[in-house]
Amino acid sequence: MSKFLIAGLGNFDLEYAGTRHNIGFDIVDALVQKHGGSFAISRLAGVAEIKWKGKTIFCIKPTTYMNLSGKAVKYWMDKENIAIENLMVIVDDKALPLSRLRIRPGGSDGGHNGLKSVHEYLGTTEYPKLRFGIGDNFPKGMQVEYVLGKWKKEEVPLVKLKIEKAAEAIESFVSAGIERTMEQFNKLEVTL
């Protein structure tokens, strides 16, 4: 039975719940809920184990804070003996519009501190990533407030729909592989 590690990045404190930067947590929450699982606090992360189509999927929400996410990702990869190509890290991405998801088998951290940390701990940037576009609709100098801010009321329905699509993309990654998943989801424009 093959094993996968799906790491949704975010910050564990309640004050960050529902913010753009915590979308990784929201996506793994949706995936685990869809499959009837639940999270328990374990070493360095909230962890849920789900079984689907003959695969075991470990979902983690690191409790290390965004900038040390790599520590939790590395620990759970080693503990569960998960191959790097069976890892998927989920992050917010301000370079993508709100209507888009982007899946890649590797590539740079794009200035994202969570991905920088994963890169440092794994010693490579060549692992699958799911980037959830949050757009860049903020005034100059207000990036931190925007990224750590909550979704606008009018954005919420689209965000919820896109979280469902992201969960489907993860299922596709697990069952059909990254190439087919990229073909299906990278060109998808999520609209209401």
Q: Is 112 annotated as catalytic?
A: no
DSSP 14-45: GGGTTBGGGHHHHHHHHHHHHTT---EEETTE
Which residue among 21, 35, 112, 119 is the active-site one? 21
Give dist(CA 27, CA 9) in Å, integer: 10
Q: Kindly compute the dihedral angle of the four CA atoms of residues 65, 85, 129, 74, in this order, to the nearest 10 degrees.
A: 10
Q: Cα angle vertex 157, ends 155, 159, to 5°?
A: 65
Rounded Cα gap, residues 110 and 95, in angstroms: 9
Helix and strand totals (H; E) in the chain: 6, 7
What is d(CA 43, CA 63) in angstroms, rounded to the nearest whole number? Answer: 9
Catalytic residues: 21
